[in-house]
Amino acid sequence: MRILKFGGTSLSNVKKFLIVEEIIKDKIKHEQISIVLSAPEKITNYLVESIKTAITKKRLIQLNFIENIIKKFLSELEKTLPSKILEKLKEEINAEILKLKDLLQTVSLLEKCPKNLNATIISRGEIFSIFIMNAILKSKGYQITIINPIKTLIGIGDYLNATIDINLSKNKIKKLKIPKKNVILMPGFIAGNKEKKLVALGRNGSDYSAAILSVCLEARYCEIWTDVDGVFTADPKIVKDAKLLNFLTYSEAMELSYLGAKVLHPKTISPLAKFNIPCLIKNTLNKNASGTIIKNFSKENSPTVKGVTSLDDITMFSISGLEKKEIHNLTGRIFSKISQKELSPILILQNSSNGNLDFCISDNETEKTFEVLKNELFTELKNKLIHPIKIIKNTSIVSIIGNKFQLKKNIYLNLFLGLQKNNVNILAISKNLSQNSISIVIKKCDVIETIQNIHSALFNQNYKIIEVFLVGIGGVGSTLLNQLKKQQKILQHKNIDIKICSISNSKKTIFNEKGIVLNNWMKEFENSKNTFSLEDLLKKIKSNKFINPVFIDCTSSEKIAEKYVDILSHHMHIVASNKKANTSCNKLYRNIRLITKKYDLKFLYETNIGAGLPVIENFQNLINSGDKLIQFRGILSGSLSFIFGKLEQGISLSKATMMAKELGFTEPNPQDDLLGIDVARKLLILAREAGYDLELSDIEIDSLLPKEFNLNLNTKDFFLELKKIDTQFLNRILEAKKENKILRFVGIIEKNGKCKVKIEKIEKSDPLYSIKNGENALAFYTKYYQPNPLVLKGYGAGNNVTAAGVFSDLLRTLSYNLGT
């Protein structure tokens, strides 16, 4: 015996009924089957509404909607059914509609709807389904037995939410003596109480009917046919990449359905589990999909997370100020009263140490619950022995379900990472003792985003998103955008999604929270009328709730650097080729580090020294692993490396500088390079990394330009002035040559931390000897690296290498980083 239950969406029109018939035809080849049916889609909702309008408006509006649905069925069936069967069906249905009208009329006269009438009215849809299915199956020649659940399934408890006494029902059903070849049909959602009066099993209760029938008929399988492929890791309407769960244990399925997974009615699994009947969830419109199977698995389950669910429309009650010794007594009193009133709290949290008792209940039970509490706690409230009862409405319970959470350490880490993404306010958190669910209470307005974030933190640990906010689109910034454009697709295949959400320079900006298409960013930027303001950008970032925002600074602006603390306090990482933040006052330098620590953010600036050369990262790694800098010497300027290389070939200083400028190696004003300030800045950054508390003014600079050099000239005059010192320079070079040495512009950190930038005569054995053509070289003499230093060498200037350095910093925001 196999039980197949079809839900409302599988029965929304004649075509779907015919699909169901095909499924039956297929299944009946192997064994006897029973069909349990819901109401056709929407009908139960209309019936529920029709009661409300009958009471309040004294009109039967929704009945028209129902009649229309039925009419459509009947007209579609004209083509399918032989006239005799069709006529009989029409008679049955019309009689049922008349009965329904009568019932609603009674309700409107009474101006209220007693529960027994209510149950009868809302279950009419199931009766329609049975009539229609019976007619279709008959027309196809099936032998049919219809089980009347009012006479056979014995319901106990509330008229609208009864549970079924399995033993009594099984006895009744056994007595039916149904022929083996017959297809059994039974309306879901209905049972009968001891007085043989119809009771309903709670909304969506026909799953439960199917489970009960499976037990009563000792079925091998219970199949629930619906409109999705099975149970997913989250509601696919909320989480687009939710994954189908092929296997669930009974306890996982129970936990999932009680805590909000919509596929199954919560009461369904327990009877199936008790009698060890496997449950299969299938999609009527995708028959061949494997579905989800729920059963006991013989193999021990490894620790897993199965899904994220939510229960919405929850009210949280909070009772506080209780005496420690009073709390248990009071908890007992409250919950015995609550259960007497048939109210069902979903989550209870009690904290004895500070006399707190919180619990959650469905919104529609709020008023009744409040009454119960007010009555029960009357004396305590009157004598101010407890604080006034706090009620928080419109909350949701979000739960993670799985098993053996105690063995799966990173589940809590991932949960909180997910929660951190939208900074959601957690009202309560609870974990059940069997370690298979964790629930948090949050505001209902946060629920969708929270489910998405938790789901992605738990299930897509490999999928990473970076949202970029780029400021500065000169050489480096625009090259970076080109590189990003080329790599975007490739990185997506590696599960890294980089979205460029804003591009700005000092004047203008473009912004798109979903990501700017990089193919024509330049045009879009040119056409933009939006002026750039950092404040506005930060406001947008705050209100848009990004997942992993990164601010990239490719300017050389001091003003922007001064804002880094503010930017970081918006919970975004910073990647900067701009050196200013690391070279201005120590206070800013320290504040930036404090805030990155506080919020666990990254501030990465690998390109501040040696462009793309991995200087900072390596140096930090050395220091973190216990090494200590003894001395440093390096060629830190690409432009000066180029210029000094040319001097060696006999080219004059002014000519070499001009060539460097033409190749784009120098700063816009080449005197900035020749003055040695740029090198001093880089040296300061390194010295600070090594732990020295220095300011830029502490660096001794021996400039290339003599003291009397006029610094207020335009570029043309600057070169004329430079020409005047060509000979002086040439002499210095010749002098060095005599000693078999060459000249280099070097940055030095001495043993005592003293920092100097100056022109040095260098001998052949020195690692800096052969450095030219724009290359940089950095020689670190450390506790571990001596007497031979660790040398890093390579191109230390140019847009491509610098942009690539920024790019790799951007990717490093995804990984764990110690810093110094």
Q: Which residues are catalytic?
A: 682
Comparing CB distances to ligand ASP, the nearer of 101 and 203 is: 203
Comparing CB distances to ligand ASP, the nearer of 280 and 377 is: 280
Residue 417 token pair: 């990472």
Stretch that binds Mg ion, among 16-24, 37-45, 416-424, 703-711 (CB under 5 A): 37-45
Please give the residues from 721 up to 750 whose contact with Mg ion meets the rule CB under 5 A: none
Shortest distance, position 226 Cβ to Mg ion, whole Å:
8
Shortest distance, position 143 Cβ to ligand ASP, whole Å:
26
Q: How many CB atoms lie within 10 A of CB 287?
A: 13
CA 767/CA 776 separation, integer angstroms: 11
Shortest distance, position 269 Cβ to ligand ASP, whole Å:
15
Question: Which residue in the set 7, 149, 472, 670 belongs to the binding site for Mg ion (CB under 5 A)?
Answer: 7
Question: Which residue in the set 5, 6, 8, 809 belongs to the binding site for Mg ion (CB under 5 A)?
Answer: 8
Q: Does 268 bind Mg ion (CB under 5 A)?
A: no
Shortest distance, position 269 Cβ to Mg ion, whole Å:
16
Shortest distance, position 421 Cβ to ligand ASP, whole Å:
35
Q: Which stretches within 607-708 are classed as H helix?
A: 615-624, 638-648, 653-662, 671-674, 677-689
Shortest distance, position 251 Cβ to ligand ASP, whole Å:
23
Q: Does 583 bind Mg ion (CB under 5 A)?
A: no
Comparing CB distances to Mg ion, the nearer of 43 and 615 is: 43
Cβ-in-10-Å burial (0-12, 13-18, 19+) of 515 comes to middle
Shortest distance, position 488 Cβ to Mg ion, whole Å:
43
Shortest distance, position 200 Cβ to Mg ion, whole Å:
13
Q: Classify the C-alpha dihedral 652-657-658-662 as positive or negative.
A: positive
Looking at the chain, how many residues does it have?
Answer: 820
Q: Which does 125 bind (CB under 5 to 8 A by kind): ligand ASP, Mg ion, none?
A: ligand ASP
Question: Which residue in the set 34, 38, 439, 505 belongs to the binding site for Mg ion (CB under 5 A)?
Answer: 38
**For the CA atoms of 734, 738, 742, 745, what is the dihedral angle to 10 degrees?**
-60
Q: Does 204 bind Mg ion (CB under 5 A)?
A: yes
Q: Which does 583 bind (CB under 5 to 8 A by kind): ligand ASP, Mg ion, none?
A: none
Q: Which does 578 bind (CB under 5 to 8 A by kind): ligand ASP, Mg ion, none?
A: none
Shortest distance, position 344 Cβ to ligand ASP, whole Å:
18
Residue 243 token pair: 């994954």
Comparing CB distances to ligand ASP, the nearer of 38 and 505 is: 38
Comparing CB distances to ligand ASP, the nearer of 125 and 402 is: 125
DSSP state of 622: H
Comparing CB distances to ligand ASP, the nearer of 125 and 155 is: 125
Comparing CB distances to ligand ASP, the nearer of 150 and 334 is: 150
Q: Classify the C-alpha dihedral 697-700-705-708 as positive or negative.
A: positive
Shortest distance, position 209 Cβ to Mg ion, whole Å:
11
Backbone torsions φ then ψ of 89, nearest 5 degrees:
-60, -45
CA 75/CA 9 separation, integer angstroms: 19
Comparing CB distances to Mg ion, the nearer of 8 and 355 is: 8
Please give the residues from 615 up to 634 whose contact with Mg ion meets the rule CB under 5 A: none
Q: Does 209 bind Mg ion (CB under 5 A)?
A: no
Comparing CB distances to Mg ion, the nearer of 210 and 647 is: 210
Stretch that binds Mg ion, among 2-10, 116-124, 777-785, 807-815 (CB under 5 A): 2-10
CA 653/CA 722 separation, integer angstroms: 8
Comparing CB distances to ligand ASP, the nearer of 257 and 637 is: 257
Name the strand (E) or helix (H) holding 580.
Answer: helix 580-583
**Nearest to 212, CA basis, from 183, 181, 188, 192:** 188
Q: Does 123 bind Mg ion (CB under 5 A)?
A: no
Q: Does 645 bind Mg ion (CB under 5 A)?
A: no
DSSP 434-475: TSSEEEEEEEGGGHHHHHHHHHHHHH-TT-EEEEEEEE--SH
What is the CA angle 644-646-651, rounded to 5? Answer: 120
Residue 678 token pair: 């740029």
Residue 463 token pair: 């999928």
Q: Which does 798 bind (CB under 5 to 8 A by kind): Mg ion, ligand ASP, none?
A: none
Shortest distance, position 89 Cβ to ligand ASP, whole Å:
20
3-state secondary structure (DSSP) of residue 183: strand
Q: Does 266 bind Mg ion (CB under 5 A)?
A: no
DSSP 88-129: HHHHHHHHHHHHHHHHHHHHHHHTS--HHHHHHHHTHHHHHH
Residue 653 token pair: 């200083």
Q: Which does 155 bind (CB under 5 to 8 A by kind): Mg ion, ligand ASP, none?
A: none
Q: Which does 39 bind (CB under 5 to 8 A by kind): Mg ion, ligand ASP, none?
A: ligand ASP
Q: Does 214 bind Mg ion (CB under 5 A)?
A: no
Shortest distance, position 263 Cβ to ligand ASP, whole Å:
12
Residue 35 token pair: 């069909």
Residues 6 or more apart from 165 whose CB is under 8 A from it? 154, 155, 156
Angle between helices 43-56 and 61-77 (to 10 degrees): 150
CA 228/CA 230 separation, integer angstroms: 6
CA 657/CA 670 separation, integer angstroms: 7
Stretch that binds Mg ion, among 196-204, 315-323, 353-361, 411-419 (CB under 5 A): 196-204
Comparing CB distances to Mg ion, the nearer of 5 and 295 is: 5
Q: Which does 657 bind (CB under 5 to 8 A by kind): ligand ASP, Mg ion, none?
A: none
Q: Which does 642 bind (CB under 5 to 8 A by kind): Mg ion, ligand ASP, none?
A: none
**Nearest to 690, CA basis, from 602, 752, 614, 604:** 752
Comparing CB distances to ligand ASP, the nearer of 129 and 657 is: 129
Place of tokens 């619950």: 369
Q: Which residues bind ligand ASP (CB under 6 A)?
A: 7-8, 38-39, 44, 125, 188-189, 203-206
Residues 6 or more apart from 666 whose CB is under 8 A from it? 639, 657, 660, 672, 673
Residue 92 token pair: 């049955």
Q: Does 596 bind Mg ion (CB under 5 A)?
A: no
Distances 666 to 658, 692, 709 between C-alpha atoms, Å: 9, 29, 19
Q: Which does 205 bind (CB under 5 to 8 A by kind): Mg ion, ligand ASP, none?
A: ligand ASP
Residues 6 or more apart from 96 whose CB is under 8 A from it? 124, 127, 128, 131
Stretch that binds Mg ion, among 8-16, 252-260, 288-296, 736-744 (CB under 5 A): 8-16
Comparing CB distances to ligand ASP, the nearer of 207 and 553 is: 207
**Nearest to 341, CA basis, from 311, 371, 362, 314:** 371
3-state secondary structure (DSSP) of residue 750: coil
Q: Does 10 bind Mg ion (CB under 5 A)?
A: no
Shortest distance, position 199 Cβ to ligand ASP, whole Å:
13
Residues that bind Mg ion (CB under 5 A): 7-8, 38, 204
